[in-house]
Amino acid sequence: MSGDTLNLPELIVPPGLVCGIDEAGRGPLAGPVVAAAVILDAARPISGLNDSKKLSEKKRGELAALIRERAVAWAVAEASVEEIDRLNILNATMLAMQRAVAGLAVTPERVLVDGNRCPPLPMPAEAVVKGDGKIASIAAASILAKTVRDAGMLALHARYPQYGFDRHMGYPTAAHRAALEIYGATPVHRKSFGPVARCLS
């Protein structure tokens, strides 16, 4: 048994066209914030769903492929570094979530959002604290958001290899902070975030 299959929570699959939403990338110093929206099909269950942070990279990739194949609808959207700096990270995250819902091929009856805030949406929405470990569709959204964002950060690593984006995905690790001190900020760094602002001043 792999670590991914140990202690898997019993995730709830609400009836009807219920969309789960989650994001990846609120905390990093670089790159966009990515949100995903997923409506799962109760007739085509996906075993092994969980909070993406509790899954291995390999398992996330396998599950992301199954989610795209079996979901009633799914969409991934982002808010750019420029939008994060202009709106602040919370508002940019809400914008990415709105874009993900708008991108769905099927309109959900209601929406469940991971965390304690919901973006303004044209259908009923409810925030679920730690929802990515409780609700299957939110877990699925967390997996899509994380895998898409990580792929984007690997592409940025190819452009800016000295920052180590392939290792920390833009999060403020000691190595990332040290690279900022040495090389300064790139256009993909969030200038409104303290460590980046300090190296620009």
3 SS3 class: helix
Alpha-helical (H) ranges within the chain are: 57-70, 81-87, 89-102, 136-159, 165-168, 174-183, 194-200
Whole-number Å distance between alpha carbons of 126 and 12: 15
Low-confidence residues in the chain, pLDDT < 50: 1-6
Q: Can you give the pLDDT at residue 170? A: 97
Q: Can you give the pLDDT at residue 8? A: 54
Degrees to nearest 5, angle at CA 25 with 105 and 81 = 90
- Please tell me the pTM assigned to this model: 0.94
Q: Can you give the pLDDT at residue 19? A: 98
How many separate domains does the chain show?
A: 1
Whole-number Å distance between alpha carbons of 78 and 191: 18
Instruction: Kindly report, residue by residue over 3-42, the tens digit of the pLDDT.
Output: 444 455 679 888 889 999 999 999 999 999 999 999 999 9
Q: Can you give the pLDDT at residue 12? A: 85
Backbone angles phi, psi at 76, to 5 degrees: -125, 135
Residue 39: give the domain boundaries: 3-200
Residue 59, amino acid: K
CATH number at residue 175: 3.30.420.10
Contact by Cβ (8 Å): 97, 18: no
How does the average pLDDT of the chain come out, rounded?
94
Q: Can you give the pLDDT at residue 164? A: 97
Structure-token match 């110093």, residue found: 29
